[in-house]
């Protein structure tokens, strides 16, 4: 994919998720036909998110041909900024990989709805004061955590898919209707 096309996908928010899956599927099966061990090197990875606080939407290919795309990672960092303070922090690309894998697993056609991405220390401290459910040293403050739901997938199903990844922390918040995902140590808990 050329840089121009890539940028236009990012800028216009076109159906990168759908088009990328059309591109990625034959590439992966082709690799399988050839018996290549590392078929992922031929694929694309996509991120598709609606930030519920800012109203911003993002759909883009963020990884292709074995590399993360710096421009897109910058856009992800901005998309997941602390909306209260405007602070931007690098988001761990492994978190995007986790979202991409979960999206494939649950076969969503929708974008993740983001309840919380990066949180500055000040914001996290304020939320911690308000709720015992907000950890004092949250991985949200390191760009390693995200709270999400999917409009076309039951929360329990999303939660179960996240658990099968064994990729980090998974918190289930059925009353608040989101799942916390992070790329810290593997652990699980239930909130409200």
Footprint on this chain of Zn ion (rule: CB under 5 A): 145, 147, 180
Give Cα 57 to chain centroid, integer Å. 13
Q: What CA–CA distance (Å, rounded) separates 170 from 189? A: 7
How far apart are CB 110 and Zn ion at their closest, in Å? 20
* Residue closest to 74 by CA, chosen among 104, 103, 96: 96
Q: Count of CB atoms within 10 A of residue 91's CB? A: 25
How far apart are CB 145 and Zn ion at their closest, in Å? 5
How far apart are CB 116 and Zn ion at their closest, in Å? 6
What Rg, from alpha-carbon coordinates, does the chain have? 17
Nearer to Zn ion, 56 or 133 (CB): 133
How far apart are CB 111 and Zn ion at their closest, in Å? 18
Q: What CA–CA distance (Å, rounded) separates 82 from 117? A: 7
Nearer to Zn ion, 48 or 181 (CB): 181
Nearer to Zn ion, 63 or 178 (CB): 178
Nearer to Zn ion, 64 or 147 (CB): 147
- The helix/strand/coil state of 76 is helix
């Amino acid at each position: 994919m050329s840089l121009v096309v890539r940028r236009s996908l990012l800028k216009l928010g076109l159906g990168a998720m759908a088009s990328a899956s059309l591109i990625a599927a034959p590439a992966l099966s082709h690799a399988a036909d050839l018996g290549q061990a590392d078929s992922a090197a031929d694929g694309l990875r996509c991120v598709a998110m609606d930030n519920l606080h800012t109203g911003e939407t993002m759909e883009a290919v963020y990884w292709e041909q074995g590399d993360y795309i710096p421009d897109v990672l910058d856009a992800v960092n901005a998309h997941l900024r602390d909306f209260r303070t405007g602070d931007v922090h690098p988001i761990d690309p492994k978190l995007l990989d986790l979202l991409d894998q979960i999206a494939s697993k649950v076969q969503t056609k929708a974008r993740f709805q983001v309840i919380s991405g990066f949180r500055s220390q000040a914001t996290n401290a304020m939320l911690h004061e308000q709720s015992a459910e907000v950890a004092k040293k949250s991985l949200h403050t390191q760009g390693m955590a995200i709270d999400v739901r999917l409009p076309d997938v039951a929360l329990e199903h999303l939660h179960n898919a996240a658990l099968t990844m064994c990729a980090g922390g998974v918190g289930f918040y059925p009353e608040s209707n989101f799942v916390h995902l992070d790329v810290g140590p593997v652990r699980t808990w239930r909130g409200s």
